[in-house]
Structure 1
């Protein structure tokens, strides 16, 4: 069996190659573009700052003035944010100025008001006329000025193709007045569940032999923050021809197909046979627990314009479904979406101290549900949550991380350091 790491590499390499086939674009309003992948470079239409601005509340001092402590300046006006002072400034003159206001022409530094006698005189002067301030501390040329273009210059490329737009990018673009951006078209991901025993959430269970289809809602929840469109193909019965028909429809309409259940070796597991008929399986079974019967392959659509669709087959057990999605599907979808290599999201991993012994057999990498916490010294500790069978659902809800036990390990002792992968929904 292929190792987790080798399968991740194979899938990610394939996804990066297939990303070249997903180059369609669309324009989105700025706020709607969060999380999408930029398809065009964005260049600044003007400098940031657009003019010299004050970094402090204080006084803009005339150029070539004496800036030593004790120097006096006649204040002849005021510059506020949005209301600049337009008059001429001479040697020995100053303008009252506030943070973010335009520094008047003829001024080459700003002294913060705390470094003047402002607090002593502010209640005794008539601010509608000129008045005099005295420097309590010397200043220097360029002091407390945000210079025009020091952050962004006109024509500068501020964001490049393949950037995954985050809130900081939205802030930058808003500052540049960008109202719409061109992004790659969201991938269409088809999700289907298989099994005669499954019933859609919201319907009544016909008998004790039936269970609710929890995997499709789970996958939708796991994938909700990706720039994709999900098409739900519902529940497919354990029938070969119906399975083939559902997959053919999904391949025709989607860029990626994800299924749950039906990929093992039971008499009613038809998915692998359907994939063999409609495409090819490139990898089957991975050395991990849970989730060993994981399928990765390609499906082909020859109906209109030929295309290749990536296929991910997840086991039916809920934890196997979650682990397979986190380890293989989400990283692949980001690559397929066109995100450049240096901006790809990464799984957070931490080192934590085990609070108890863990037993396992060598041969498979194991992902165990765990609860971790951080002590007052910043150290992490972790403990497994209950029985680790892959069909158990409650423990997954209680957990806040996966404990990662190496393939070759035969167990760990209390006090050992072990890798954990915190769930993303535990952060904001």
Structure 2
């Protein structure tokens, strides 16, 4: 049985091959996306600036722009003959010993090489007596350095410089950058098509009526769709497939014609009515089956290859809700970001923190364990975590009450209160 880390590595290597050979990124379709719709999309082009940023020398603060050649030491006097505001630059000529009043973000006149902070002049003493429509004199109360308080043209971005590169996952800060450059549209990779299906005679779609005590609602599909919300993908829902070999084969065959990836929930164990593994082997291959983790041991990673132009990667999740969440977070989401063309630095990282355990944990050696808990921050910013006493994977209320997984290595046994443990906060708490 493969370890969780071995499976993560195997999936990553398979996706690298997929991106380089089966469905190369440079062969993928590209969409034009409006800037405000581009968050979490993957850039398919390098984006270059068409101008310098700043476009001209700008003042970093309110004060006075002083002409080149002026004496700018303590007690020097400067004649102020105008002003430069943001959006309204001073256009006159300046000689040594002269300057203009200037405001933060305003253009520094070409003939000026220094901006004096307003606080380093006697402006506060004379402001009530000034007629600003006429020239007036200020006195420096502190020596200034040439080039001080000026944001130089092009010091942040030079014209023609690449500001974002292919593989960037666009975030709000990127949108701010692009808006500052006047870019209203970007080229992004066309979303992958991801099929989802659930299996089981007992399942009923949410919103429909339960007509038998043997029936339960299909919670896995809504859970899975929600977990995948932020990904740049298009989801196709193939509904609930009954426990029937022919119907399962038909549904999988249709999905593999339509999709780049197929994700199923339930039907991957060894029961008499679990047909998915049989179908996957008929239409492709199972690369890995069963992983040494709890919950989620009967996880299937494979690919569908029969009568398709390129392999359709397959992820088979167990049927209980907790296993769906754990398997999706640990395996499916990282793989989908990688498949979508996000560069390594743009693929979300799993946040791990250390916390002090406040109660005892029971665990058997042999599998990596994800136990539900409540993480809090105590005195001096120290994290502490309480583990729920019961950890059965069918307990959906506990999953809702929890805000983290306590991650225990496969070789770990029971853990006593007071020990330090690794905790993974749920991503929706810090996204």
TM-score by length of 2: 0.97
Q: Which residue of 2 aligns with 1:279?
A: 284
Q: Counterpart of 1:379?
A: 382
Deviation, structure 1 residue 385: 2.2
Matched, 1:95 2:100: yes
Matched, 1:320 2:357: no
State the match for 1:194 in structure 2. 199
Alpha-carbon deviations, 1:28-61, whole Å to 9, x = none? 1111111111111111111100000000001101
CA–CA distance in structure 1, aligned partners of residues 110 and 367 of structure 2? 71
Alignment of 1:85-124 (within 5 A): 85-124=90-129
| Among 36, 49, 59, the residue aligned to 1:31 | 36
Match of residue 166 from structure 1: 171
Q: What is the aligned counterpart of 1:419 among 399, 422, 427?
A: 422
Which residue is equivalent to 1:334? 337
Q: Structure 2 unaligned runs (5+)?
A: none
1:122, 1:248 → 2: CA distance? 81
Question: How do residues 277-426 of structure 1 correspond to structure 2 at under 5 angstroms?
Answer: 277-300=282-305, 302=307, 306-426=309-429
Offset, 1:301: 5.0
**Count, aligned residues:** 426
Question: In the alignment, does 2:206 pair up with 1:206?
Answer: no
Over residues 295-341 of structure 1, what are the superposed CA-to-partner deviations in whole Å (9 max), with x where a residue is unaligned?
000012526xx121100000000000100000000000010011112
**Quick one: which of 236, 256, 260 aligns to 2:265?**
260
Contact residue 385 and residue 398 of structure 1 kept, 8 A: no
Q: Residue 365 of structure 1: CA displacement?
A: 0.4
Cα deviation for residue 13 of structure 1 reads 1.3
Match of 1:5 in 2: 5
Alpha-carbon separation, structure 2, partners of 1:301 and 1:92: 82
Q: CA deviation at 1:106?
A: 0.6
Are the counterparts in 2 of residues 301 and 307 from structure 1 also a CA contact under 8 Å?
Answer: no
Unmatched segments (≥5 aa) in structure 1: none
Does 2:16 align with 1:16?
A: yes
Deviation at 1:361, TM superposition (A): 1.0
Distance 2:206 2:360 in 1: 38
**Distance in 2, Cα, partners of 1:217 & 1:121:** 69
Deviation >4 Å, runs of 4+: none
